[in-house]
Structure 1
């Protein structure tokens, strides 16, 4: 199992997104994601998200919130626990990212970008500031989301493509 973080950094009504184009053997190649990465030894979720944000973007987080956890189960990849955050406070300037291209994307365009199907589920939850901390579980077969639940309750899936 691996622990990771993912953060959606907001500036006005735009979100900083990473178009994953540069890493070899990237399970998220050509998808758009928030910023994040794997925990290092002895890190808390907060330690990891602050470090990963600085490494990938050059930005230093000044105001962020732990919003939820997502359990990913896959027939290909190891099980992953992803700790989700949002942020609306930071300092610094963007740097070149070695994993892909960073871009500020208007909120209304986020759900139309190429992304994992489950990402669209948690993005809608993250957009709702009144949404309490949540736990999601996604089961994938290859790139196909076959099961989703929120706080232990199954969710309906979008119809097959």
Structure 2
């Protein structure tokens, strides 16, 4: 089982993002999520993390795959990726500072822009495919050298992960 979850909360052509206040990726825009607690399922974790970081309750999150990465000579790590649609009423007080960072709505085109260096680097690799709900969940694999991605690969998921 992987250690982390990440969620992208979508409203029209925007995503609710958080500018992280602490490492890893301090100062970079990211989805919301966090570490699974002992005995917690990825679905329960992402619901809890969304609530803790945004105050939004979701029940219709969709599993969209996993992101795995190989940091410098460490064991492979990863996170479960979810997508949820939210309403305008849930995000009326933005931007807003929280203990985790600053929450704000960002245009998807801005997030995916090749000229945008303020986003966690792996997001540009997997987000477009993740947002297309007709795509089957896959493993988006990244190999890092420091903070730089040196190789990416899209791999099929094993059936056990899809259950």
Aligned to 1:139: 143
Question: Structure 1 residue 116: deviation in Å?
Answer: 3.0
Higher helix share: 2
Q: How many residues align?
A: 149
TM-score (norm 2): 0.82
Q: Kindly tell me: are residues 77 and 56 of structure 1, through their superposed partners in 2, closer, same or farther at Cα, counting changes over 3 Å?
A: farther
TM-score (norm 1): 0.83
Runs of 5+ unmatched residues, structure 2: 157-163
Higher strand share: 1
Aligned to 1:28: 25
CA distance in 2, matches of 1:82, 1:141: 19
Aligned residues of 1:64 and 1:89 also touching (Cα < 8 A)? no
Runs of 5+ unmatched residues, structure 1: 153-161
| Cα deviation 1:66-119 (Å, max 9, x = unaligned) | 000111110176632210000014685667421210001122211234123321
| Cα deviation 1:24-71 (Å, max 9, x = unaligned) | xx0211111000000001011101000000000000003210000111
The runs of at least 4 aligned residues of structure 1 exceeding 3 Å deviation read 76-79, 89-96
When the two chains are superposed, the root-mean-square deviation of aligned CA atoms in Å is 2.2
